[in-house]
Structure 1
Amino acid sequence: MTSLAPGITADIEIPNPPEDSISSLAFSPNGRGPSAGNDFLAVGSWDASVRIYEVAPNGQAIGRALYKHDAPVLNVAWGPDLSRVFSGGADNAARMFDTATGQATQVGAHDAPVRSVRWAQVNGSGLLITSGWDKIVKYWDVRAPSGTPVGSVQLPERCYSMDVCTTGSRHFLVAATAERHVSMYDLVNPATPWKNLSSPLKWQTRVVRCFEPLPEAKSGTGFAIGSIEGRLGVHFAEDRETVNNYTFRCHRQEPTKNETKIFAVNDIVFHPVHGTFVTCGSDGTISVWDKDARTRQKTFDTAPGPISALSCSGSGRFLAYAVSYDWSRGHGGMTPGHPNKVLLHTCKDEEFKRRVRR
């Protein structure tokens, strides 16, 4: 199919997309490299659905499953393999979909919408981690869903975004909340805060994503954080490396009549093979960055609408992105005929591989 972004000529539109704004994309944890098999993509939407598509190596996709929440879906994530998909929604529920049986069950609950869901290995056991607008992070053992979490921690404010890092010397969780709070937890002792920080950005946090150390780089783990002000921060987890923290401007349009247009950073994803990261925004653009060289490698042509979500396949073969209304302009911005699409971009080395610096 024809790409919605004219400069990304080889992109493929996934058939039968959701009927409302797309909130979250998540590729399955397949193996890495060109020999990996088919990928699976979970798509969460404001139409209260989670759709699962199978994506062949040539980018052709077909719908394989659909399950529902009772209100908009805000986040989706896979378990450790292809057998389970997790989702959180505005119905205050966390749900698990079994891909073998085709059954969805509620495995967690909050007193307010569930904003983020993640799977992680904690103390040798796999746990579902959820966070919500009730200012709580909860840990769930999905093997025996009793309605009671196995642990929980209080956040300083409503959670807007959450991620986990399970590689490197320290496994940790980072939760970014309202009022620019950032809370970090060492997953070896997940009930006790490791660090409480203030966001390096001056305005409301939109997204936070963890990064892993690169084999050829001396730097370690940390997180990238984006805000509504068209700015992004890179923050290293260990105290000895925080001297390398920095922020920069992105997703802005050059001044016209002495006025700069600023757009929200909607999502961040790190390429699993090359270690570069990708941002998307309300301006309808996608940019590829090298965090260690502190440079932008590429910006794709502008799509005819905000790009609300991103995900990179485990093999590094595909970048999925959603051209969809992101609610950055409130209810009035949801105009009739607004595009609502999921597209696949085939990742090329010259776009995503870190360039050799002299």
Structure 2
Amino acid sequence: MSKNIDENDGILIPNTPDDYISDLILCELPEAGSCLLVTAWDGTLSIYKTNSETSGRENIPSLFKRIKYEMPLLCCCVLNSEIYVGTVQGQLLRYDIIMDSFTPVLITGEDISTLALCKIFVYEDQRLKNSLICVSWDGSISVVDVHQGKIDIRIQLKEDCKILTADCNSKRLIIVETGHKLRLFEFPLQEYDEGTSIASALKYQIRDVKLLPMTDGYVISSIDGRVAVEYLTEPDKQFAFRCHRLNLKDTQFVFPVNTLAFCPGTSKILTGGSDGAVSYWNLDTRRKLKQFPKFNSTSVVKLVCDKGLFYVATSDDSFKSNATIDSNIELQPSSIYVVHL
């Protein structure tokens, strides 16, 4: 069995949310400098100063602010030094760090969608400045002008289409649908654009997707311990590999690969699974660079990388494998670690 992670591999960040962690992002804020933003299902938005100008144990992020909303928060984003969050009810909220309060972005006070906002991205289109792309479980994609407080573009996929997750860069948006499918949208987005439907190279449900930073393509991970690398212009280069598995004498345990994170400006990627471990890969050489020890008894649910270190969020996702819904179930508390590569 893997040993638990020690201080040479990672440091536990104090004052982390207890509930299931839904998003991790790195950003710069005028009030706090380099920060780690964390949203959770208990409705909390936590802002940590990363103290990136220091080294060693002094580099441990410290809690700067925490605010709780009445509904679970599923994602966050920073545009023009302002923090935005998406709720489980489909609201897009702006967080005022001075007033320490949330306000709806739409001037009508309405929700962006009928179901949860699962992802928010900055829309890098010069014609639509000050805009966010909001992706929802209900199959809608909305471009929101946060200064005018209105929706400029809204794309609604077919009724039976639900969006599980997404990723975005300056060129395109990729979404993961139910039914083992992906859909690719090239920028600029158009009101009636249905995108290009792509069949998944993986047999089972996709857990995460990331666009390749160095070329045109994407990486997906699934619940059956597999990762696939797809190239849009060079399909012959595509490949897949197994990971996050436990080999025993008579059987093999397979764990979902919940999260992916690229090291900035490289083809090196981190994978995190329900085995509680993180693996580090070089996609160019197709080799594993390092296997990090198991963090704790819960699952790795989110990763974000920053130069020579990365942040790991672990949460108890055992409820996903329960046969019935148990409202009285007690989950283990979540944790966040900072790890040096």
8 Å Cα contact 2:13-2:337 kept in structure 1: yes
Report the Cα distance in structure 1 between the residues aligned to 2:253 and 2:190, rounded to whole angstroms. 40
8 Å Cα contact 1:186-1:193 kept in structure 2: no
* 1:343 has 2:337 as partner: yes
Letter in 2 for 1:181: K
With the length of structure 2 as denominator, give the TM-score of the two structures.
Answer: 0.86
Query: Residues 127 and 338 (structure 1 numbering): CA distance in 2 closer, same or farther, change over 3 Å?
Result: same
* 1:22 has 2:24 as partner: no
Q: Secondary structure at the match of 2:235?
A: helix
* Counterpart among 155, 158, 182 of residue 157 in structure 2: 155
8 Å Cα contact 1:155-1:183 kept in structure 2: no
Could you tell me which runs of 5 or more consecutive residues in structure 1 were left unpaired when the two chains were aligned: 31-36, 214-219, 348-358
Report the Cα distance in structure 2 between the residues aligned to 1:300 and 1:182, rounded to whole angstroms. 30
Report the Cα distance in structure 1 between the residues aligned to 2:231 and 2:174, rounded to whole angstroms. 12
Q: 1:253 is matched with which residue?
A: 246
Larger deviation, residues 98-107 vs 270-279: 98-107
8 Å Cα contact 1:96-1:105 kept in structure 2: yes
Q: How does 1:160-179 map to 2 (within 5 A)?
A: 160-166=164-170, 171-179=171-179
Deviation at 1:221, TM superposition (A): 2.2
Root-mean-square deviation (Å): 2.4
Q: Secondary structure at the match of 2:124?
A: strand
Deviation at 1:70, TM superposition (A): 2.9
Deviation at 1:173, TM superposition (A): 0.2
With the length of structure 1 as denominator, give the TM-score of the two structures.
Answer: 0.82
Q: 1:209 is matched with which residue?
A: 210
* Counterpart among 272, 282, 291 of residue 280 in structure 1: 272
Query: Residues 334 and 159 (structure 1 numbering): CA distance in 2 closer, same or farther, change over 3 Å?
Result: farther
Q: 1:317 is matched with which residue?
A: 308
* 1:113 has 2:116 as partner: yes
Deviation string 1:120-169 (CA, Å, 9 cap, x unpaired) is 212442421111121111110101114xx211112351111111021xxx
Report the Cα distance in structure 2 between the residues aligned to 1:318 and 1:261, rounded to whole angstroms. 29
Q: 1:96 is matched with which residue?
A: 94
Letter in 1 for 2:269: F
8 Å Cα contact 2:261-2:303 kept in structure 1: yes
Q: Secondary structure at the match of 1:328?
A: helix
Q: Secondary structure at the match of 1:338?
A: coil
Letter in 2 for 1:152: R
Report the Cα distance in structure 2 between the residues aligned to 1:333 and 1:341, rounded to whole angstroms. 22
Deviation at 1:265, TM superposition (A): 1.0
Report the Cα distance in structure 1 between the residues aligned to 2:328 and 2:16, rounded to whole angstroms. 17
* Counterpart among 80, 83, 86 of residue 85 in structure 1: 83
Letter in 2 for 1:293: T
8 Å Cα contact 1:73-1:88 kept in structure 2: yes
Report the Cα distance in structure 2 between the residues aligned to 1:122 and 1:251, rounded to whole angstroms. 38
Larger deviation, residues 291-300 vs 92-101: 92-101
Report the Cα distance in structure 2 between the residues aligned to 1:298 and 1:337, rounded to whole angstroms. 30
* 1:46 has 2:37 as partner: no
Q: Secondary structure at the match of 1:64?
A: strand
8 Å Cα contact 1:158-1:178 kept in structure 2: yes
Query: Residues 197 and 337 (structure 1 numbering): CA distance in 2 closer, same or farther, change over 3 Å?
Result: closer
Deviation string 1:54-89 (CA, Å, 9 cap, x unpaired) is 11023222222223333222222332x5x1222222
Q: 1:217 is matched with which residue?
A: none
8 Å Cα contact 2:19-2:333 kept in structure 1: no
8 Å Cα contact 1:135-1:155 kept in structure 2: yes
Letter in 2 for 1:49: T
Report the Cα distance in structure 2 between the residues aligned to 1:21 and 1:134, rounded to whole angstroms. 22
Letter in 2 for 1:42: L
Report the Cα distance in structure 1 between the residues aligned to 2:229 and 2:101, rounded to whole angstroms. 39
8 Å Cα contact 2:201-2:228 kept in structure 1: yes
8 Å Cα contact 1:252-1:261 kept in structure 2: yes
* Counterpart among 291, 295, 298 of residue 299 in structure 1: 291
Report the Cα distance in structure 2 between the residues aligned to 1:10 and 1:233, rounded to whole angstroms. 27
Letter in 1 for 2:156: Q
% identical equivalent positions: 23
8 Å Cα contact 1:252-1:260 kept in structure 2: yes
Letter in 2 for 1:204: Q
Report the Cα distance in structure 2 between the residues aligned to 1:102 and 1:121, rounded to whole angstroms. 28
Could you tell me which runs of 5 or more consecutive residues in structure 2 were left unpaired when the two chains were aligned: 106-110
Q: Size of the alignment, in residue pairs? A: 319
Letter in 2 for 1:120: Y
Q: 1:187 is matched with which residue?
A: 187
